[in-house]
Amino acid sequence: MKARALVATLILALLAPAAAAGEQASLTEIEKQVMCPVCGTLLQLAESPQAQRERVFINRLIDEGRSEAEIKDALVAEYGDEVLALPPDSGFSLSAYVVPIVALLVAAVALAIGVLRWRRAGGGSGSDKPGARPAGPSERDSERLDADLARYDL
Amino acid sequence: MIAVLGVLAVVGLLVFGLAIKGGSGLEVGDPVPTSALPELEGGGSQSLADYRGRWVLVNFWASWCEPCRAEAPALEKFQRQHRGPGFAVLGIDTRDLSGDGRDFVREYGLSYPQLRDGNGGAAHDYGTTGVPETFLVDPKGKLRLHFPGPVSEETLESSVAPLLPEGKS
């Protein structure tokens, strides 16, 4: 039992630094999440002098051991919220996430109401009963059809 | 009715987005924006309204911009020759890292006030299309001259100096 506990402790001790190293920020990952403010593109795609300075800035913070979130905060402090590829989920920027969902819900409700009204008005089949067959022509229409056909010598 | 409201809401948001993103180029004679900006060094802030009553040469620049490096000595020389109660040069470091901006100021020995426009909001309000761009603002806060691109000593002496109050600069 003691041996098992010792092995488990050793494994955890060996894995801990690896896990910590995995959390280290990387330029490649951050480049996908931030913009080059001058170019108006993802930093990943930018090659302007400003983009190069931004990379130097990020690399310096990585070397200082800052986390990804801390580096993004530092970029926001320098360039404002616009430097983030995705807007923050707070304040007015929250509307970027909420508005499409609300718009989708409103559209779905409007569509549902429209379909219900259409069905109540007897749209399509002319009957509310599911699977009902289309109604035939009225008696008056049948008489008119017979009269029209009678004029032709078929 | 709900669908119509939904469509109106989406159209409204689109119009709002275009309105806040759209360009707003200044014309000569227009009042210039006076939003306060933080100083590049120190914790204070300044606005162009603080300079009302003086001619101000507003220069947008960035440390990563090579033409800005080329024109910096000319701006410094011009302000040393003409500064006074009736005239000032004001630098605005735009879309730049503050550390790089401070290094730039030290490298060229710029002695005039420098403000910081990290997100480019002020540059947008002035309708700039890049850096460097320079604007001469009259004592009433209206745009008198606009120089898109780098300025030279000759340009400043021939275009700006004659407008400055005689004997005060």
How far apart CA B62 and CA B98 sit, in angstroms, is 10
State the nearest Cα–Cα gap between B79 and chain A, in angstroms.
Answer: 27
Average predicted confidence (pLDDT) for chain A = 82
With 50 as the cut, is the pLDDT of residue B141 above it? yes
Residues of chain A positioned with their CB less than 8 A from the CB of B9:
99, 103, 106
| Per-residue pLDDT band at A46 (split at 50, 70, 90) | very high
HSE toward the beta carbon, residue B168, CA cutoff 13 A:
13
| Per-residue pLDDT band at B127 (split at 50, 70, 90) | very high
Q: Which residues contact A84 (CB under 8 A, 6 or more apart)?
A: A33, A34, A35, A72, A75, A76
With 60 as the cut, is the pLDDT of residue A45 above it? yes
Residues of chain A positioned with their CB less than 8 A from the CB of B13:
95, 99
Closest C-alpha among A139, A50, A124, A149 to residue B68: A50
Nearest CA in chain A to B118: A79
Closest C-alpha among B81, B59, B56, B55 to residue B68: B59
How far apart CA B32 and CA B125 sit, in angstroms, is 9
Identify any residues that bridge with A36 across adjacent strands, giving them in sequence order. Answer: A41
Q: Interior CA angle at A145 toward A141 and A151, to 5°?
A: 150
Average predicted confidence (pLDDT) for chain B = 90
| Per-residue pLDDT band at A125 (split at 50, 70, 90) | low
With 90 as the cut, is the pLDDT of residue A7 above it? no
Mean pLDDT within B146-161: 97
State whether A37 and B95 contact (CB < 8 Å).
yes
Given B13, B62, B98, which is nearest A99 (Cβ)? B13
Given B9, B66, B100, which is nearest A53 (Cβ)? B100
With 50 as the cut, is the pLDDT of residue A55 above it? yes
Taking only the tens place, the pLDDT of each residue in A61-86 is 999 999 999 999 999 999 999 999 99
Taking only the tens place, the pLDDT of each residue in B36-90 is 999 999 889 999 999 999 999 999 999 999 999 999 999 999 999 999 999 999 9
| Per-residue pLDDT band at A87 (split at 50, 70, 90) | confident
With 80 as the cut, is the pLDDT of residue A14 above it? no
How far apart CA B61 and CA B152 sit, in angstroms, is 14
Going from the C-alpha of A33 to that of each of A56, A77, A141, the distances in angstroms are: 16, 16, 68
Tell me, what's the pLDDT at A151? 85
How far apart CA B76 and CA B111 sit, in angstroms, is 7
* pTM metric for this prediction: 0.70
Tell me, what's the pLDDT at B169? 44
Least confident of B46-50, B107-111, B117-121, B164-168: B164-168
Going from the C-alpha of B69 to that of each of A122, B56, B157, the distances in angstroms are: 75, 20, 19
pLDDT, greater one: B109 or A106: B109
State the nearest Cα–Cα gap between A54 and chain B, in angstroms.
Answer: 8
Q: Which residues contact B92 (CB under 8 A, 6 or more apart)?
A: B37, B58, B59, B60, B61, B114, B115, B116, B117, B122, B123
